[in-house]
A and B are shown apart, each in its own frame.
Chain A
């Protein structure tokens, strides 16, 4: 064991003396720092948005109060009142931004039909978003494997080409220990840089790591382990530097660049989501058709969803707020199936992506990391569900005064429901979701061991 430790120390010193290794590791570290800084800026912007919501809401209340100093009919006040909802970012979003920069982090909701209020795009610059996220997850999923492969594809082939491999093996006390030591120090160096970046990312905002953070770190290291196994297989199989370089390059370009992009296109093409247009257009048509229908018809439909208002007096005049909101409810009810299909389709897309992740470990890791960070599609859908629930709370609050035709004095506006945010659902993911990583890991190691066991061949 001591001999192996000495070998490790020797190999580490040798690795860190080479210019390529130092340059590659420095590049990785700098790219990681830049990614952390970029994510930090974006999250700070989002945090500012959330922090400003109460003031913006107060300003809105003040504006409406100026308009209706003596209070106003509940229906009217509700019409003008947009209530803020928001989804705070979990600390781990600093490492895995996921969809956070393309989906809205805050939505202002009013009592009107809900579905049309959920899907508005943010103000982000699509030209910037189309370039892809630049976060630590990207650095870990795409760049770290490249550095690892560059450093380790030729741990045998270079010495073999120079004819000194038998000598080096003899000095190291065997091919196995030499191979293991060389690969271990390279993997450790890359893992150390990534872990250092992780630590910087925690220390920067002063986060105390908990189980979630360590879990994220573990998945990151698992991903690096997969690539270490791939590097081991390539290094053990390829006989020349040119061959190992070509194999390593192909593996990286395929798994980290081409396949993720191709899988995304395949999923988008195979799982159309036409419900977006459908529900938008249908909801509008339904809501406004109410103006031309007998009021009883609209109310009859409304009472199916809200039977507790069945005994309300019929509307005598041209207009009543309760009728207005009943029309909007009819709009939501009419697209409830489209909305459910919309969500089901999105989930089907995500599930298909997860199934295809078998083909490309970086996709599997990206999904795991954004899931743990609460920045994946599921987290966004959960936020929209909370907004739906909050819209229900709003209805529960406003329906009684709207149906009672009450004037709400300004003082009572303080009691409007407040959205209670929840941390985004972050899940560790199941063992099965790690199989697309664990199986290539095992395969790579098995291939490497088998190749090395072949008597003498590796040396020649």
Chain B
């Protein structure tokens, strides 16, 4: 055993120093740290390269699409509405650090008249089935592997002392159990410091790699760091608690590894499967069929006797004081189209809202599952802070639909005002109109809104830390 450990009335600092020395002098320590650093570097570098490449490609295509938009010739506005445009999902500020849901969510959406297309090309559809075993990212290393490092380095802290009888000796010589535990915890944290610094470095690298618009997202990085640190602290307390209770280091390690595998590997998947089963989502076909059915029942613009469009006609004629649509100073066809667009957009918004509500219920269930598996808490917080969570995806899709609606209605307005009713389709509108259309812009939810509804995750992590800490403080270590 360690000959330099203090014997009598030792201070927290002395115990911490002794524990730190004990850990860092183990042969395995250097290997573990090197392995941890390499893995983190691998995740950060490859993830960063991939992210940068995809962001650059997306920027190029965004520019190309804009150029194609502006170089349109004279066209009929409705032709332009079907030509449409694309919405590109903005890259999350910390996507390099924590890709969140990015690999499973479409990044590009085709926007056109009458139709709400879904987001296309999620990475997950372009991968082998082995991808379902996991995806490496700096966040994964900090959320899943750092706790394992804590377990491996910390499981012996108190168990060794108890096994060798030295704990009893220390306590009988005037060291209070609290001091012993605090010293051990401090020593362990000290030994973990290099891993923590590496994690911070990965976060800083992620923040520096953020899309340039708003500058490095330091506050977001701080939130992600705080969540990861809190989660690591939970595992420090758990490791020491179980180390104190297990009786032997081997038993402590076995228990802790089992706990880690259950909490970090099995429970998140099980929780996901449970959430999916608890709040089943409609399938794409069901969603589309229900939407089409409802839109159809709203009214039929082609049917002169349809009540909705008959009313529109009467109202429009009355407003302009004419008897026939042909006599209107504006293009009635465009007015009908705009009304139809309004009706379908309303219906779609309602159905999409219901779908999102279900997804959010699933997500909130996952957040509540953080009380069982704290890693779910840190995952949720980290993805929210990184701008790569479900909300960022949903807001992108909502913003894309809002943009689509405005864009189509604006074209319908041009159609109404500049295209005559007679020989409607044979006319074209001058190309200089296209330049006035604004580009699609979606914002990543600002940090405040992103963290909305995550109080439970902080609470779950805090309570885990509290419970493990209290358990640790009340272990059977008595003088």
Whether A366 lies near B132 (C-beta < 8 A) is yes
Contact of B108 among A103, A108, A280, A288 (CB under 8 A): A280
Chain B residues closer than 8 Å to A41, beta-carbon distance = 273, 276-277, 280
For window 128-162 of B, CB contacts with A under 8 Å fall at 128-137, 140, 144-145, 148, 152
Chain B, residue nearest A288 (CB): B83
Chain A residues closer than 8 Å to B127, beta-carbon distance = 99, 264, 267-268, 349, 377
Complex Cα–Cα for A268 and B123 (A): 9
Whether A103 lies near B129 (C-beta < 8 A) is no
Whether A367 lies near B129 (C-beta < 8 A) is yes
Whether B287 lies near A123 (C-beta < 8 A) is yes
Whether A121 lies near B106 (C-beta < 8 A) is yes
Chain A, residue nearest B46 (CB): A269
Given contacts A59-B289, A264-B135, A353-B130, A127 and B362 within 8 Å (CB-CB): yes
Chain B, residue nearest A279 (CB): B121
Q: State the Cβ distance, B259 to closest chain A Cβ, in Å.
A: 12
Complex Cα–Cα for A233 and B293 (A): 63
Q: Contact residues of B with A, CB < 8 Å? A: 28, 39, 42-43, 46-47, 49-50, 53-54, 57-58, 61, 64-65, 68, 73, 75, 79, 82-84, 86, 100-101, 103-106, 108, 110, 117-137, 140, 144-145, 148, 152, 249-250, 253-254, 257-258, 261-262, 265-266, 268-277, 280-289, 292-293, 296, 300, 302-303, 355, 359, 362-363, 366, 383, 389-390, 393, 425-426
Contact of A127 among B61, B106, B258, B359 (CB under 8 A): B359
Chain A residues closer than 8 Å to B261, beta-carbon distance = 143, 146
11 A–B contacts, CB within 8 A, in A order: A38-B274, A41-B276, A49-B286, A131-B366, A253-B145, A260-B133, A263-B130, A276-B108, A277-B58, A280-B121, A363-B133
Chain B residues closer than 8 Å to A31, beta-carbon distance = 266, 270
Complex Cα–Cα for A130 and B127 (A): 13
Whether A128 lies near B275 (C-beta < 8 A) is yes
Chain B, residue nearest A107 (CB): B284
Q: State the Cβ distance, A155 to closest chain B Cβ, in Å.
A: 14
Complex Cα–Cα for A97 and B129 (A): 9
Contact of A56 among B43, B122, B289 (CB under 8 A): B289
Whether B65 lies near A281 (C-beta < 8 A) is yes
Chain A residues closer than 8 Å to B390, beta-carbon distance = 125-127
Given contacts A288-B83, A363-B133, A52 and B393 within 8 Å (CB-CB): no
Whether A253 lies near B148 (C-beta < 8 A) is yes
In the complex, which of the residues A122, A131, A285 has the most CB atoms of chain B within 10 Å of its own CB atom? A131
Whether A126 lies near B104 (C-beta < 8 A) is yes
The 8 A-B residue pairs with the shortest CB-CB distance, nearest first, are A38-B273, A126-B101, A126-B104, A49-B283, A261-B134, A131-B272, A260-B133, A370-B129
Chain B residues closer than 8 Å to A59, beta-carbon distance = 289, 292-293
Whether B134 lies near A245 (C-beta < 8 A) is no
Chain B residues closer than 8 Å to A261, beta-carbon distance = 133-136, 140
Complex Cα–Cα for A121 and B277 (A): 20
Chain B residues closer than 8 Å to A249, beta-carbon distance = 152, 253, 257
Whether B117 lies near A120 (C-beta < 8 A) is yes
Whether A123 lies near B121 (C-beta < 8 A) is no
Whether A52 lies near B289 (C-beta < 8 A) is yes
Whether B126 lies near A262 (C-beta < 8 A) is no
Inter-chain pairs besides A31-B266, A38-B276, A59-B292, 7 sampled, C-beta below 8 Å: A130-B135, A246-B253, A249-B253, A262-B43, A273-B126, A318-B426, A363-B130
Q: State the Cβ distance, B128 to closest chain A Cβ, in Å.
A: 4
Chain A residues closer than 8 Å to B131, beta-carbon distance = 264
Q: State the Cβ distance, A353 to closest chain B Cβ, in Å.
A: 4
Given contacts A38-B270, A132-B133, A123 and B283 within 8 Å (CB-CB): yes
Chain A, residue nearest B140 (CB): A261
Contact of A265 among B43, B104, B281, B363 (CB under 8 A): B43
Q: State the Cβ distance, B88 to closest chain A Cβ, in Å.
A: 9
Contact of B121 among A122, A276, A375 (CB under 8 A): A276
Tell yes or no: A67 within 8 A of B by CB.
yes
Given contacts A124-B281, A132-B132, A272 and B53 within 8 Å (CB-CB): yes
Interface size on A, residues (CB 8 A): 105
Complex Cα–Cα for A96 and B389 (A): 27
Q: State the Cβ distance, A108 to closest chain B Cβ, in Å.
A: 7
Whether A141 lies near B133 (C-beta < 8 A) is yes
Chain A residues closer than 8 Å to B292, beta-carbon distance = 59-60, 63
Whether A133 lies near B250 (C-beta < 8 A) is no
Whether A126 lies near B393 (C-beta < 8 A) is yes
Chain B residues closer than 8 Å to A52, beta-carbon distance = 285-286, 289
Whether B285 lies near A84 (C-beta < 8 A) is yes
Complex Cα–Cα for A367 and B119 (A): 28
Complex Cα–Cα for A102 and B106 (A): 11
Q: State the Cβ distance, A332 to closest chain B Cβ, in Å.
A: 15
Complex Cα–Cα for A258 and B43 (A): 11
Complex Cα–Cα for A363 and B43 (A): 19
Chain B residues closer than 8 Å to A105, beta-carbon distance = 283
Tell yes or no: A319 within 8 A of B by CB.
yes
Chain A, residue nearest B269 (CB): A134
Chain B, residue nearest A124 (CB): B281
Whether B276 lies near A99 (C-beta < 8 A) is no
Complex Cα–Cα for A133 and B124 (A): 12
Q: State the Cβ distance, B336 to closest chain A Cβ, in Å.
A: 15
Whether B285 lies near A262 (C-beta < 8 A) is no
Complex Cα–Cα for A27 and B254 (A): 15
Chain A residues closer than 8 Å to B145, beta-carbon distance = 253, 257-258
Chain B, residue nearest A139 (CB): B266
Complex Cα–Cα for A105 and B125 (A): 12
Contact of A102 among B122, B254, B270 (CB under 8 A): B122
Whether A257 lies near B84 (C-beta < 8 A) is no
Whether B39 lies near A134 (C-beta < 8 A) is no
Chain B residues closer than 8 Å to A171, beta-carbon distance = none
Tell yes or no: A440 within 8 A of B by CB.
no
Complex Cα–Cα for A285 and B302 (A): 29
For window 36-50 of A, CB contacts with B under 8 Å fall at 37-38, 41-42, 45-46, 48-49
In the complex, which of the residues B126, B257, B265, B270 has the most CB atoms of chain A within 10 Å of its own CB atom? B126
Tell yes or no: A417 within 8 A of B by CB.
no
Whether B126 lies near A349 (C-beta < 8 A) is yes
Tell yes or no: A182 within 8 A of B by CB.
no
Given contacts A102-B125, A125-B281, A131-B269, A242 and B39 within 8 Å (CB-CB): no
Q: State the Cβ distance, A406 to closest chain B Cβ, in Å.
A: 20
Whether A45 lies near B254 (C-beta < 8 A) is no
Chain A residues closer than 8 Å to B268, beta-carbon distance = 131-132
Given contacts A46-B283, A67-B302, A285-B68, A116 and B133 within 8 Å (CB-CB): no
Contact of A246 among B28, B110, B355 (CB under 8 A): B28
Chain A, residue nearest B57 (CB): A274
Whether A281 lies near B296 (C-beta < 8 A) is no
Q: State the Cβ distance, B108 to closest chain A Cβ, in Å.
A: 6
Chain A residues closer than 8 Å to B58, beta-carbon distance = 277
Tell yes or no: A357 within 8 A of B by CB.
yes
In the complex, which of the residues B140, B284, B292, B362 has the most CB atoms of chain A within 10 Å of its own CB atom? B284
Q: State the Cβ distance, B33 to closest chain A Cβ, in Å.
A: 14
Given contacts A276-B126, A353-B128, A127 and B366 within 8 Å (CB-CB): yes
Given contacts A116-B110, A277-B108, A318-B425, A262 and B136 within 8 Å (CB-CB): yes
Whether B125 lies near A284 (C-beta < 8 A) is no
Given contacts A264-B135, A318-B426, A127 and B389 within 8 Å (CB-CB): yes
Whether A134 lies near B270 (C-beta < 8 A) is yes
Complex Cα–Cα for A3 and B187 (A): 53
Given contacts A67-B302, A357-B130, A277 and B57 within 8 Å (CB-CB): yes
Chain B residues closer than 8 Å to A96, beta-carbon distance = 129
Complex Cα–Cα for A298 and B202 (A): 53
Tell yes or no: A138 within 8 A of B by CB.
yes
Whether A245 lies near B250 (C-beta < 8 A) is yes
Whether A292 lies near B75 (C-beta < 8 A) is yes
Chain B residues closer than 8 Å to A257, beta-carbon distance = 134, 144-145, 265
Chain B residues closer than 8 Å to A116, beta-carbon distance = 110
Tell yes or no: A416 within 8 A of B by CB.
no
For window 50-64 of A, CB contacts with B under 8 Å fall at 52-53, 56, 59-60, 63
